[in-house]
């Protein structure tokens, strides 16, 4: 088995694990055993997804002898998915570690990860417009928004109670957007044995998940305000 095939199968297995277990931490008691154990399983699966996607994307761009313009474009999408999933998961974990902070956050690792998400979103979006590839043109706007929001959160002192809760929630749901979108773009067409799907289907996970993030945030803000 080639190294590329090994990474591909690891990517598929880890992606399915992430898809299957993600909602368990969402619906179980926060801070409970199920939430923590399955949450870490999800993070580990997404770590494998991110690393394998990065490897496959780089291989397709620089080493694939049969690469085409379309395969290179999709490879850049894979790389961006790798950055998006890892950056949002990292942010979701790190905000818990610094939930008691009272001032601006200056840890270079956290600022770098959020900044990388922002800059890569801008770069990939520009590349998408350059080659007239709608998925690459518009999808990275999610990364731009999340990266800018994360940087704003780190660089300003917290202003609301339970601020870390909302950032953790947004980070993990943002990671879910990357997981489901990657499955929609790469996995679903293969399972359905079709060559392509509508561009609307590619964006459907974001269309559904972004309002869900907003809805969860509104719900918990109201809940915490009564405590």
Helix/strand/coil (H/E/C) assignment for every residue in 72-112: HHHHHHHHHHHHHHHHHHHHHHHHHHCCCCCCCCCCHHHHH
* Per-residue confidence (pLDDT) for residue 60, from 0 to 100: 93
Question: Exposed, middle or buried by CB within 10 Å (0-12, 13-18, 19+), for 210?
Answer: middle
Question: Exposed, middle or buried by CB within 10 Å (0-12, 13-18, 19+), for 145?
Answer: middle
Query: Tokens for 117?
Result: 């998400």
pLDDT of 191 higher than 60: no
Least confident of 75-84, 96-105, 123-132, 179-188: 179-188
pLDDT of 157 higher than 80: yes
* Per-residue confidence (pLDDT) for residue 188, from 0 to 100: 59
Query: In the structure, how many helices (H) and strands (E) does the chain have?
Result: 10, 0
* Per-residue confidence (pLDDT) for residue 143, from 0 to 100: 92
pLDDT of 193 higher than 70: no
Q: How many CA atoms lie within 13 A of 124 on its CB side?
A: 29
Asked if 183 and 17 count as a contact pair (C-beta separation under 8 A), the reply is no
Asked if 211 and 50 count as a contact pair (C-beta separation under 8 A), the reply is no
List b or e across 161-196, with b for residues whose CB sees 16 or more CB atoms inside 10 angstroms. ebbbbbbbbbbbbbbbbbbbbbbbbbbeeeeeeeee
Q: What is the mean pLDDT of the chain?
A: 86
CA distance 217 to 138: 24
Mean pLDDT, residues 111-135 taken together:
96
Least confident of 126-135, 162-171, 206-215: 206-215
pLDDT of 187 higher than 80: no
Asked if 204 and 183 count as a contact pair (C-beta separation under 8 A), the reply is no
User: Per-residue pLDDT tens for 49-85?
Assistant: 899 999 999 999 999 999 999 899 989 998 998 999 9
pLDDT of 194 higher than 70: no
CA distance 2 to 145: 37
User: Per-residue pLDDT tens for 7-52?
Assistant: 988 988 888 898 888 888 877 887 788 889 999 999 999 999 899 9
Dihedral angle over CA of 57, 114, 187, 72, nearest 10: -30
pLDDT of 224 higher than 80: no
Q: What is the pTM of this model?
A: 0.87
Domains in the chain: boundaries? 3-225
**What's the alpha-carbon Rg for the chain, to the nearest Å?**
18
Residue with tokens 């898809």: 19
Angle between helices 163-182 and 3-21 (to 10 degrees): 130
């Amino acid at each position: 088995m080639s190294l590329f095939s090994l990474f591909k199968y690891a990517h598929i297995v880890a992606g399915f694990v992430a898809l299957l277990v993600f909602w368990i931490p969402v619906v179980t008691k926060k801070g409970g055993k199920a939430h923590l154990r399955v949450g870490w399983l999800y993070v580990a699966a997404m770590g494998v997804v991110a690393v394998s996607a990065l490897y496959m994307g780089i291989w397709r761009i620089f080493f694939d002898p049969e690469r085409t313009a379309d395969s290179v474009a999709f490879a850049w999408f894979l790389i961006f998915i790798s950055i998006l999933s890892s950056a949002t998961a990292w942010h979701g974990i790190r905000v818990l570690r610094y939930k008691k902070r009272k001032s601006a956050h200056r840890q270079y690792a956290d600022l770098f990860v959020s900044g990388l998400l922002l800059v890569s979103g801008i770069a990939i979006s520009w590349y998408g417009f350059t080659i007239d590839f709608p998925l690459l043109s518009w999808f990275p706007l999610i990364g731009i928004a999340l990266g800018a929001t994360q940087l704003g959160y780190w660089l300003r002192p917290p202003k609301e109670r339970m601020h870390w809760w909302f950032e953790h929630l947004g980070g993990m749901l943002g990671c879910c957007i990357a997981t489901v979108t990657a499955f929609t773009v790469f996995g679903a067409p293969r399972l359905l044995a079709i060559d392509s799907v509508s561009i609307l289907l590619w964006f459907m996970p974001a269309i559904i998940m972004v309002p869900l993030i907003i809805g969860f945030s509104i719900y918990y803000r109201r809940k915490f305000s009564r405590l």
